Amino acid sequence: MKELLMGNEAVACGALAAGVQVVAGYPGTPSTEALETVAKRKPDGVYVEWSINEKAGAEVAAGAAYAGARSMVTMKQMGLNVASDPIMCVNYVGVKGGMVIYVADDPGPISSQTEQDTRSWGQFAKIPVLDCTSPEQAFEQVQAAFELSEAKSMPVILRSTTRVCHACSVIDVPEFVPPEPVEGFVKDKKWVIFPGLSYQNKKKIFARESELAKTFSENGMNTIAGTGKIGIACGGIAAAYTADAIQGHEDQFTVFTVNTPYPFPIQAARQFVDQVDTVLAFEELDPYIEDHLAAMGVDVIGKRSGAVPEAGELSAVVVAGIIEKQTGLSLDLHPTNLPESPALPVRPPVLCAGCPHRGAFYAVKKAMRGRKIIALGDIGCYTLGNAMPLDMVDTCLCMGAGVTMAQGLNHVDPSTVNFAFIGDSTFFASGITGAINGVYNQADIVLVILDNSTTAMTGHQPHPGTGVTMMGERVEPVSIESVLRGAGVTSVRTVDPLDLDEAVPAIQAAADEKGVRAIIFKSPCIAIVPKQGIAEVDQDACIGCKHCINELGCPAITMMETENGLKAVIDPALCTGCGLCNQICPKHCMEVKG
């Protein structure tokens, strides 16, 4: 049936159409919906899980592929860093069932720490990479990836980017049938990685590179369109931008779309280069195609020549502008000229009204007023605690880094109290090792676990602490407190971050202790529970001091000029009745009702 599918949904449906049997992954924008769609639409016989992190997910998928099943692991590009160890190694061992590693890159970056390029990573790891230009093509590519992986007993990376992952197209989706039963694991020396085996397999991997480059040049996966003398080499969403930019002038151009970045289709590239006079390269992230063409001795107008922006996203207008400038042609897309607009507010993302993280940050800030602290942040909604007025995130690096960086800082300067804030999902993904490291090495830190019972930032996925699985089972939740105590953390306090009278003394007591001590702030994300009520401002009592806004920055509160002076107003649609504002209001005039 024809359906409007998002790129990630298309990847999921393509994988199900290809008979995938095991899908694992860890959430991360822009990849998340792929695994969620598998869970929603899978036929009987398909197993799906949110793994504890990407490394675990890749290993689960590898195990399934050793047994002959088709398997897929999904992640964002940052996750590939975490999963590098197993993925790099499984390429040397090989697989029996097809194994696809779906990685979503994030040019911009829009929701990520880095602008890394999985095409370059695939080349480094010597694992074939298929790229996606649109949802409908992604639907085909994932099926091709399974075929290729199984035919050559090697893992294959399917790579897409945000604008493909989150774009929708009309796709004809087949009925999914349960996967065929597989043989199961057959014992063999080849499954045990040893230096000698890796030496032998490295030779095969090397030979495979040129063989696949030839196949990819001849099998139609990479396309050369047009007969014009201006050559454009592109890949991913830049192919769509190029199509828009040259619309109406196609006869001037020959467009080479690289859909198999690694191994690079050299013969096809040669054919393209031979039929044009000029070569421009349009691609986001690394100058990957550009560098491969340059290595063939081609003069390329691209990022290295300074013509194409080296960072951030491209657009059709940017592409058109570069073509005009470099070729003298006149195209139809141009930037719009408008008179200057009145002042528009910047609108960065903020912690929701009623977010328990706001209470946690505010409580630590209040408890530690006048003392030297470092607030180490981490990855999640709580990174937004960096914004004014909370201003409680001094560092943020990568998942789990805060816990261990706090230790490094402590070894250099023991005079500050180092608070490492970490979300519950992040704690399970990569905080536990850091906590044990601190216990073992006698570090002096306050570990603050922001337990909101979900993986909020990426769209509220369950995790081990929630006791819900992607197969729909209810299981015994893993207790963070027990994990900490088992790891040797003897000081553990569980408190409600929205109750300042309880939270502030608990923080002060923990701050005065030594070693690794933990505070678990337990209160659910507002998106997963009903509202507590709605705070109402007693207009007669409000003195318009703005203390609530200046201290908390809750987006539900604004100030309004009335005939009785400046008054706080609360947006009833946003307020969840968390009660924080009333606790800090000098007049306590913001009582929660209902």
Ligand X SMILES: Cc1ncc(C[n+]2csc(CCOP(=O)(O)OP(=O)(O)O)c2C)c(N)n1
Interface residues with ligand X (CB under 6 A) are: 26-28, 76, 78-79, 82, 379-382, 399, 423-426, 450, 452, 454-458
Q: What is the DSSP string of 72-135?
A: EEEEEHHHHHHHHHHHHHHHHH--SS-EEEEEEE-SS-SSSS----HHHHHHHHT--EEE-SSH
Residue 425 near which of ligand X, other proteins, ligand SF4, none (CB within 5-8 Å, type-dependent): ligand X
Residue 39 near which of ligand X, ligand SF4, other proteins, none (CB within 5-8 Å, type-dependent): none
| Contact status: 29 vs ligand SF4 (CB under 6 A) | no
Which amino acid belongs to residue 116?
Q
Considering only 137-145, 206-214, 340-348, 499-507, which stretch makes contact with other proteins by CB under 8 A? Answer: 340-348
Rounded-to-integer distance, Cα 85 and Cα 402, Å: 22
Give 328 or 530: the residue with its C-beta nearer to ligand SF4: 530
Q: How far is the CB of 318 from other proteins (least distance, A)?
A: 9
Give 19 or 402: the residue with its C-beta nearer to ligand X: 402
Find the radius of gyration of the CA atoms of the chain: 27
Pairing label, strands 230-234, 253-257: parallel
Which amino acid belongs to residue 11?
V
> Cβ of 217: how many Cβ atoms within 10 Å?
20
E strand map for 185-333: 223-225, 230-234, 253-257, 278-282
Q: Which residue has the tokens 């996966």?
A: 221
Positive or negative: CA dihedral 317, 320, 324, 329: negative
Pairing label, strands 557-562, 565-570: antiparallel
Per-residue buried b or exposed e for 19-29, using 16+ beta carbons within 10 Å of the residue's own CB: bbbbbbbbbbb
Query: In this chain, which of 169, 222, 430, 523 binds other proteins, going by CB under 8 A?
Result: 169
Residue 154 near which of other proteins, ligand SF4, ligand X, none (CB within 5-8 Å, type-dependent): none
DSSP secondary structure letter of residue 220: S
Give 127 or 390: the residue with its C-beta nearer to ligand SF4: 390
Question: What angle do the packed helices 195-218 and 266-274 form, to 10 degrees?
Answer: 30
Query: In this chain, which of 187, 188, 248, 336 binds other proteins, going by CB under 8 A?
Result: 336
Give 18 or 548: the residue with its C-beta nearer to ligand SF4: 548
Query: In this chain, which of 12, 483, 581, 589 binds ligand SF4, going by CB under 6 A?
Result: 581
Query: In this chain, which of 10, 355, 432, 446 binds ligand SF4, going by CB under 6 A?
Result: 355
> Cβ of 527: how many Cβ atoms within 10 Å?
15
Residue 316 near which of ligand X, ligand SF4, other proteins, none (CB within 5-8 Å, type-dependent): other proteins
Of 100, 98, 169, 109, give the one whose Cα is nearest residue 133: 169
Query: In this chain, which of 196, 297, 306, 339 binds other proteins, going by CB under 8 A?
Result: 339
Positive or negative: CA dihedral 221, 224, 226, 231: positive
Rounded-to-integer distance, Cα 552 and Cα 525, Å: 17
Q: How far is the CB of 337 from other proteins (least distance, A)?
A: 9
Burial class (CB in 10 A: 0-12, 13-18, 19+), 225: middle
35 — phi, psi (to 5°)? -70, -40
Query: In this chain, which of 15, 154, 396, 575 binds ligand SF4, going by CB under 6 A?
Result: 575
Q: How far is the CB of 464 from ligand X (least distance, A)?
A: 11
Query: Would you say 210 and 263 are in contact if contact means Cβ atoms under 8 Å apart?
Result: yes
Give 182 or 527: the residue with its C-beta nearer to ligand SF4: 527
Q: How far is the CB of 423 from ligand X (least distance, A)?
A: 2
> Cβ of 78: how many Cβ atoms within 10 Å?
24
370-409 footprint of other proteins as x/- string (CB under 8 A): -----------x--x--xxx--------------------
23-62 footprint of other proteins as x/- string (CB under 8 A): ------xx--------------------------------
251: which residues sit within 8 A by CB, 6+ positions away? 226, 227, 228
Residue 535 near which of ligand X, other proteins, ligand SF4, none (CB within 5-8 Å, type-dependent): ligand SF4
Per-residue buried b or exposed e for 366-376, using 16+ beta carbons within 10 Å of the residue's own CB: ebbeeeebbbb
Give 80 or 245: the residue with its C-beta nearer to other proteins: 245
Query: In this chain, which of 24, 352, 449, 500 binds ligand SF4, going by CB under 6 A?
Result: 352
Residue 82 near which of other proteins, ligand SF4, ligand X, none (CB within 5-8 Å, type-dependent): ligand X
Of 56, 274, 313, give the one whose Cα is nearest residue 164: 313
Considering only 77-85, 287-295, 334-342, 531-539, which stretch makes contact with other proteins by CB under 8 A? Answer: 334-342
| Contact status: 10 vs other proteins (CB under 8 A) | no
Q: Which residue has the tokens 């910047």?
A: 346
| Contact status: 240 vs other proteins (CB under 8 A) | yes
Considering only 203-211, 310-318, 425-433, 525-533, which stretch makes contact with ligand SF4 by CB under 6 A? Answer: 525-533
Considering only 83-91, 154-162, 354-362, 466-474, which stretch makes contact with ligand SF4 by CB under 6 A? Answer: 354-362
Q: How far is the CB of 456 from ligand SF4 (least distance, A)?
A: 4
Burial class (CB in 10 A: 0-12, 13-18, 19+), 278: middle
Query: In this chain, which of 281, 300, 352, 447 binds other proteins, going by CB under 8 A?
Result: 352
172: which residues sit within 8 A by CB, 6+ positions away? 1, 2, 3
Residue 426 near which of other proteins, ligand SF4, ligand X, none (CB within 5-8 Å, type-dependent): ligand X
Residues near ligand SF4 (CB under 6 A) are: 351-355, 357, 381, 452, 456, 525-527, 535, 552, 554, 556-557, 570, 575-581, 590, 592
Q: Which residues bind other proteins (CB under 8 A)?
A: 2, 4, 29-30, 110-111, 134, 163, 166-170, 237, 240-241, 243-245, 247, 315-317, 320, 333-336, 338-339, 341-352, 381, 384, 387-389, 457-458, 549-550, 553-555, 557-559, 573
